[in-house]
């Protein structure tokens, strides 16, 4: 870390994957830096909050064990998130983890993913990751499959290539899982 610069200053220096990865390296070596990264990602300070979340995703890719203790906090905090970049990074990480065992946390995750997938204002990447999470939940709670299929079909009508592509994949998996 450069002398005299705060983590916020460092996050704002450069917008590149390489920079996010170098911050991730610092955070993996120092739990205090990681804790600060977490706090910044939850702040209302834009754009530093999503840059912190982006660096957390880089930590997840290199050392998932560092992020794993924060996953339950991510499940709980999702409904309060307002910044697309933070939402995107958190649901991307969550889509790559086992679902919560706690029914209340699973319900929160289920609700927010349906809400974001149904929203016309939500970022495409957030919707794509929500589809993946809802697919995972449907394996535990098959009763959501009809609503999930309808929601995905509606989302696909917006026409973005990423939504259409992931929507097709998820619908195929749902079809295979429900075929008797």
| CA nearest neighbour of 149 among 172, 180, 129 | 172
As a whole number of angstroms, the distance between CA 122 and CA 57 comes to 20
Residues 115 and 46 in one domain: no
Residues 135 and 64 in one domain: no
Residues 63 and 116 in one domain: no
- Predicted pLDDT at 124: 94
Task: Show the domain range for 75.
Answer: 1-97
Residues 39 and 61 in one domain: yes
Residues 90 and 108 in one domain: no
Low-confidence ranges of the chain (pLDDT < 70): 1-4, 178-180
Residues 107 and 169 in one domain: yes
On whether the CB atoms of residues 113 and 126 are closer than 8 A, the answer is no
Residues 79 and 145 in one domain: no
- Predicted pLDDT at 35: 94
pTM: 0.90
- Predicted pLDDT at 4: 67
> CA neighbours within 13 Å on the CB side: how many for 103?
1
Residues 128 and 74 in one domain: no
DSSP annotation of 47 reads: T
Residues 72 and 128 in one domain: no
**pLDDT digit string, tens, across residues 157-169:** 987 999 999 999 9
């Amino acid at each position: 870390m450069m002398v005299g610069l705060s983590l916020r200053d460092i996050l704002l220096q450069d917008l590149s994957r390489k920079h996010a990865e170098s911050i991730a390296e610092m955070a993996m070596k120092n739990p205090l830096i990681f804790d600060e990264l977490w706090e910044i990602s939850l702040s209302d300070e834009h754009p530093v909050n999503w840059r912190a979340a982006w660096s957390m995703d880089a930590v997840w890719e290199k050392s998932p064990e560092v992020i794993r203790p924060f996953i339950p906090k991510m499940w709980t905090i999702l409904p309060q998130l307002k910044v697309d970049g933070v939402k995107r990074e958190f649901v991307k990480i969550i889509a790559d983890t086992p679902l919560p065992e706690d029914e209340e946390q699973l319900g929160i995750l289920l609700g927010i993913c349906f809400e974001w997938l149904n929203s016309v204002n939500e970022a495409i990447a957030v919707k794509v990751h929500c589809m993946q999470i809802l697919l995972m939940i449907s394996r535990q709670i098959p009763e959501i499959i009809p609503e999930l299929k309808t929601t995905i079909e509606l989302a696909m009508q917006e026409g973005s290539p990423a939504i259409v592509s992931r929507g097709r994949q998820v619908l195929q998996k749902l079809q295979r899982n429900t075929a008797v």
